Amino acid sequence: MKNSNPEEWFPIVDEDGNTIGRALRSVCHNGKSMLLHPVVHLHLFNTRGELFLQKRAKTKDIQPGKWDTSVGGHFSQGETPNEALLREAGEELGIYNFVPEFLGKYVWESTRERELVNPFSTISDEIPVINNDEIEEGRFWSLKEIKENLGKDIFTPNFEHEFNMLFAR
């Protein structure tokens, strides 16, 4: 998720994902407007069943320095979920050749914002090349290792929620 341009415009959506307006990033993240805006998440698994996680850069405006989903980003105006996913995966991890599986959508609310999250997963052994403007580091984690570290303030709250909802069976 980009944070270098505070005047970036986000689409504002209803809970079905229909665009109903637009607002500045700073307004969407101010903790007051709570305008619902869409994001994509990608859970990148390798063929050994390990999940790639990114450690958010310390310069991020939300959850800096925490481990998070493989890819996470905001939609640009007019983008579909697949278009936003492919763009963000390329920007953050340099991966382009994957087949995403849509996992549904849900509303995530924190003290700073409300997001309509569109999570996807994929399996690939392509080696991610992290964008150091966006990500401090990245690596593959076993599901056991993730489960052992839940609740220890290592991961973003949204990642923990999504992991438990989708993969912690």
* Tens digit of each residue's pLDDT (9 = 90 or more) over 40-97: 999 999 999 999 999 998 888 889 999 999 999 999 999 999 999 999 999 999 999 8
| Per-residue confidence band for 144, with pLDDT thresholds at 50, 70 and 90 | very high
Asked whether 8 and 28 are in contact (CB, 8 A), the reply is no
**Class for the domain spanning 9-166:** alpha beta
Q: What is the full DSSP assignment across the chain?
A: ---S-TT-EEEEE-TT--EEEEEEHHHHTSSSS--EEEEEEEEEE-TTS-EEEEEEPTT-SSSTT-EE-SEEEEPPTT--HHHHHHHHHHHHH-------EE---EEEE-SS-EEEEEEEEEE--PPP---TTTEEEEEEE-HHHHHHHTTSSSB-HHHHHHHHHHT--
pLDDT over 70 at 131, yes or no: yes
Q: How confident is the model at residue 133 (pLDDT cuts 50, 70, 90)?
A: confident
Give mean pLDDT, residues 28-49.
Answer: 97
In the chain, where are the structural domains located? 9-166
pLDDT at residue 134, rounded to an integer = 81
Average pLDDT, the chain: 93
Amino acid sitting at position 45: F
**CA gap 63, 57 in Å, rounded:** 9
